[in-house]
Amino acid sequence: MKIQFLLLLLIIAVFSGCKQNSKYIYNKGFVYGTMYSIIYESPNGKDLQPEIEKEFRKYTLIFSPYEKESTISKVNQNRPVSLEPEFITCFKKAMEISEITNGAFDITAGALVNAWGFGPTEKEKMTPERIDSLMQLTGYKKIRLKNGVIIKDNPNIDIDMNAISKGYTSDLIAGFLKNKGCKNYMVEIGGEIVAHGKNARNKVWTIGISKPDENLYNSVTEIQAKLQLNNKAMATSGNYRNFYIENGKKYAHTIDPKTGYPVQHSLLSATVLANDCMTADAFATSFMVLGMEMGIEIARRVPGLEIYFIYSDKNGANQVYMSENFSKYIVE
């Protein structure tokens, strides 16, 4: 009995010591050409950033089209390559969401995005003929995975998973932290967020949704709403900052893969909550292509999705639509 009591005291002491040594760590940096911010309670107080950066390098060499030797670059160049499990998982999810959204989400639309001036290359002169030629290289049904190889109907088709890989990488880094024994963490990559547990003040993570205002670029961002997230992922996509005006007409960076043209509708931003960030990321992009009505209809059909849309009404004023259960995440 005495031995059991001493053993109990020893166990309590060990766990108490672990808790006393735990420490919230804040890491930030750049990946995929955007900023990341990660906060986590490290069980032994160790700063995990060197290991996190190593993980980022691994995923950059899978998903970044800017890396000549990345997996996706080799696929686009039709070079022999062994597809990693992460690549296959992300590709399959992209195809799944393309089916659900009837092609609104399409990882073959990168050439169109670049041609319209929203990629790494110079904007092209966009004519109906040029758009028609690019549409020949666009369409998720023109690519498929077979026996571990990406098959293309046309070898000139390129794929770009940027609209899903940032969210997926947020999931992967969250999994890395969990495997390191972290119970409380928040991972954010370019606005794609995974939150689990509580922050350093022992409160559920509070995340803000930005108020759409194209005049606020590079200035202080106003918050439209605050959410409390625990064991949830969130992604937001919007057209109110990445656009240009040409000949008096506004062109947003969201390109409709089915028409080849930038979208023209009232939806300003789409915030999506899901159980994983890969899903939230892809649907946020999809809804910006689909617009309000179709976005709402599809969100209702997909289990586990919650949406928060900010749109412009007929008088130009911002309005909000949210799904039935979204309100329970909002901090009053």
Q: How far apart are CA 62 and CA 58, in angstroms?
A: 7
Contacts of 313 (CB under 8 A, 6+ apart): 266, 319
Rounded to two decimals, the pTM is 0.88
Are the CB atoms for 285 and 272 separated by under 8 Å?
Answer: no
How far is it between the farthest Cα atoms of the chain? 87
* pLDDT score for 116: 72
Which tens digit of pLDDT belongs to each residue from 283-305? 999 999 999 999 999 999 999 99
| C-alpha distances in Å from residue 173, one per residue of 20, 38, 139 | 25, 9, 30
Going by pLDDT thresholds of 50, 70 and 90, the confidence category of residue 239 is low
pLDDT digits (tens, 9 = 90+) for 140-149: 999 999 999 9
How far, in whole angstroms, is CA 14 from its chain's centroid?
39
Each residue of 98-149: pLDDT tens digit?
999 999 999 999 888 888 776 666 777 878 898 899 899 999 999 999 999 9
User: Tens digit of pLDDT for each residue in 160-186?
Assistant: 999 999 999 999 999 999 999 999 999
List of E strands, 49-164: 143-146, 149-152
The answer to whether 126 and 115 are in contact (CB under 8 A) is: yes
Nearest one of 51, 62, 5 to 29, comparing CA atoms: 51
Q: What is the pLDDT of residues 58-100, one digit of tens each?
A: 999 999 988 999 999 999 999 999 999 999 999 999 999 999 9
Q: What domains are there in the chain, each with its CATH number?
A: 23-329 (3.10.520.10)
Reading the block at residue 160, the tokens are 């770009």
Cβ atoms 171, 194 nearer than 8 A: yes
CA distance readout (Å), 251 to 2, 38, 194, 206: 76, 33, 31, 33
Residue among 212, 249, 206, 247 at smallest CA distance from 229: 206
**CA–CA gap between residue 94 and residue 145 (Å, rounded):** 12
Q: What is the DSSP string of 150-168?
A: EEESSTT-----HHHHHHH
Residue 123: the pLDDT is 74
pLDDT of residue 252: 59
- The rounded distance, in Å, linking the Cα atoms of 102 and 7 is 61
Q: Tokens for 106, please give them.
A: 């399409």
The whole-number pLDDT of residue 110 equals 82
| Residue 244 clears pLDDT 70, i.e. is over it | no
Answer whether residue 216 shows pLDDT above 50. no
pLDDT of residue 24: 97
Which pair of structure tokens corresponds to residue 311? 């749109």
Rounded to an integer, what distance in angstroms lies between the CA atom of residue 135 and that of residue 306? 32
pLDDT over 90, % of the chain: 69
pLDDT at 2: 38
